[in-house]
Structure 1
Amino acid sequence: MAVLIWGLPPDSATRQAINKGKPLWSTTDYLLADLVDSTMHTTWAIANKDVPRHEQSKPPRPYPRPGADDPKKAKITAAALLAFRERTRRG
């Protein structure tokens, strides 16, 4: 069952429901965040290239990512599936 659920797209209703209604990031989302980080860091490095080290500004913070964990490492438990079934049960 877990293999089938993880095979669904990150923005599917089932995966969002298991993640407490929050959309999951796709590989593309992570790659775009990495691109933003790379661009900000390169811009910072170029802006500070001729500045003495003790006068340089702080390096940019990484673009915020949802949790620090890889979504594929999350555990789908029987309790989570039962809770999902209760939340989605039709009256």
Structure 2
Amino acid sequence: MRVLIQHLPRDSAFVRAVHGEDAEWGLNEHLMAAVVDHLAIGNWLFTSAHLPEDESPPEQPRPVPRPGIEEDPVEEATPDDLARFFSGL
């Protein structure tokens, strides 16, 4: 019985009941979300680098929400934070 339960597909009712929302995402879904996140950041960096100086950069893209992971607020570095970081080099 243990072997049968261990090898149930992740979309089975038992696995969803035990693992909840985490069971819906497998390796493929996590990899695809990482690809989307990296493409979004790359496009944002390209766009930000090619804007005229008088325009403000677009908002940084948010990562694809993943089950079981709370979204952390984006903290922006102050000029003092940057000076402290680069003075240590």
Range of TM-score over shorter length: 0.5 to 0.7
Would the aligned equivalents of 1:37 and 1:62 in 2 still touch at CA under 8 Å? yes
Summarize deviations over 1:37-57 as a string: whole Å, max 9, x none: 0111111111111334x8212
Please list, as runs of the form range in 1=range in 2, the aligned pairs for 1:63-82 lying within 5 A after superposition: 63-68=64-69
Return the alpha-carbon distance in structure 2 between the equivalents of residues 2 and 57 of structure 1: 52
Would the aligned equivalents of 1:15 and 1:24 in 2 still touch at CA under 8 Å? no
Show structure 2 runs of 5+ residues with no match.
Answer: 71-89
TM-score (norm 1): 0.56
Q: 2:57 maps to which residue? A: 56
Aligned Cα RMSD in Å?
3.2
TM-score (norm 2): 0.57
Please list, as runs of the form range in 1=range in 2, the aligned pairs for 1:37-56 lying within 5 A after superposition: 37-51=37-51, 52=53, 55-56=56-57
Summarize deviations over 1:14-38 as a string: whole Å, max 9, x none: 2112234774210110000000001
Return the alpha-carbon distance in structure 1 between the equivalents of residues 2 and 67 of structure 2: 21
Percent same amino acid among aligned pairs?
34
The aligned length equals 68
Summarize deviations over 1:2-22 as a string: whole Å, max 9, x none: 997565443233211223477
**Amino acid of the residue matched to residue 63 of structure 2?**
P
Q: Which stretches of structure 1, 4 residues or more, deviate above 6 A after TM superposition?
A: 1-4
Q: 2:10 maps to which residue? A: 10
